[in-house]
Amino acid sequence: MKRIKILTTTLAALFCVSVAAAQTAQDVTKKYLEAAKLLEKQDKSLYESVAAMMEEVVKTGTPLGADVVNEVANAKKCLPDLYYNIAVSQAQQNKLAEAEASALKAYNKAQEYKTGQAHVLKAEDLLAKIYIAQAGKFVKEKNYAQASEIYAKGLKSIPNSTTLEMYLAISYVESGNKEQGYAIFNQIIEKAKTNPRYKRSAEQAKEKMENYDNVEANKALAAKNYTKAVALLTDIIKANPDNALAQMMLIQAYASLNRENDVISKGPAALAVQTDQKNKCDICYMMGVACFNQQKNDKALEYLKMVTTGNNVTKAKDLITEINELSKANK
């Protein structure tokens, strides 16, 4: 009798488990349908409740397998967008810490559930904007060290964000850590060599470094440290021969150092990349003066006659008159 009793008890337990499982599957389906109905209202104030319900569907439905596979799959598809929209709403209310947490959920869920690269990139872009907003206060105060910490924290969460890498690099340069900033700029440029997605970011990184270098060289010119300016500008032009501003400043530096041979030999390359007519005329004037000083009057006249606008028009005309008078006197 004892054995029969034990067997009966075991069968009863198994029966209860089966009934419980069936009831749980029904509950999951019911919960999913309730959440889906709320989602249809497109009421943003309900998104947090809907997200919690969808999370429950995934948690309780996953162990049940085939019985609720569609409900679980659909809940997983919904969650990244739900958390994204929650984050946007929180960010609009300037609740940046909450927005960060929600956007991270969107980003992580998209990766975990493999809902598609579009979801991942959308969440990544939002997260980057949130971190930039968090750092904004410190950037306004020129507290780049604090801003750098926020960008670096963000990159731990979204390591592929070239947007945050760009802002971190800028913060390093602005705080005087040019070497570290340029290392990040170059890191972005390297990424583009193997992934076309980063092409625009690489172009921006190059532009940023070029602008910083131009500013540094211009400061050297203003301080009349022409030798330093030549060294800086030579490196800049080596990296990008089409840098029109750097090419013009190099001719200015050579002219200021009375390096007339360099003005004459480097001038045509500088002239070729200019798009601004005034800058073209300034280079022509410097080349004309250099040629005149080396008694190459025919070449000097050629360049001086090209000075048609800018601050050197009158001086060019005066020098043309002087050269013509010298030519008459020598006949």
Maximum Cα–Cα distance across the chain: 142
Query: pLDDT above 90 covers what percent of the chain?
Result: 88
pLDDT per residue as tens digits for the range 139-149: 999 999 999 99
- Between 23-32, 60-69, 84-93, the lowest mean confidence (pLDDT) is in 23-32
Q: Do the domain assignments include residue 196?
A: no
Q: Quick check: 12 pLDDT over 60?
A: no
Q: Quick check: 208 pLDDT over 60?
A: yes
pLDDT per residue as tens digits for the range 220-255: 999 999 999 999 999 999 989 999 999 999 999 999
Q: Do the domain assignments include residue 143?
A: no
Q: Do the domain assignments include residue 268?
A: yes
Amino acid 170 reads I
pLDDT at 331: 67
Rounded to 10 deg, the angle between the 96-112 and 69-92 helix axes is: 150
Rounded to 10 deg, the angle between the 199-222 and 226-239 helix axes is: 160
Rounded to 10 deg, the angle between the 162-174 and 144-157 helix axes is: 160
Q: Do the domain assignments include residue 210?
A: no
Looking at the 3D structure of the chain, how many domains does it have? 2
Q: Do the domain assignments include residue 29?
A: no
pTM for the model stands at 0.77
Contact 143, 135 (CB under 8 A): no
pLDDT per residue as tens digits for the range 94-137: 999 999 999 999 999 999 999 999 999 999 999 999 999 999 99
Q: Give the domain extent around 240.
A: 224-331
Q: Do the domain assignments include residue 173?
A: no
Q: Quick check: 3 pLDDT over 70?
A: no
Contact 303, 312 (CB under 8 A): no
Which CATH number characterizes residue 238's domain?
Answer: 1.25.40.10
**Mean pLDDT calculated for residue range 287-302:** 95
* CB atoms inside a 10 Å sphere around CB 275: 7
Contacts for 123-126 with beta carbons within 8 Å, 24 or more apart? Answer: 123/80, 123/83, 123/84, 124/158, 124/160, 124/161, 125/163, 126/84, 126/87, 126/88, 126/91
Q: Do the domain assignments include residue 187?
A: no
Q: Of 115, 149, 184, at which residue does a domain stop? A: 115
Contact 236, 259 (CB under 8 A): no
Question: 83: which 2 tokens?
Answer: 């958390």
Q: Do the domain assignments include residue 164?
A: no
Contact 182, 169 (CB under 8 A): yes
Q: Of 115, 133, 153, at which residue does a domain stop? A: 115
Q: Of 59, 93, 115, at which residue does a domain stop? A: 115
pLDDT per residue as tens digits for the range 64-76: 999 999 999 999 9
**Mean pLDDT calculated for residue range 46-51:** 94
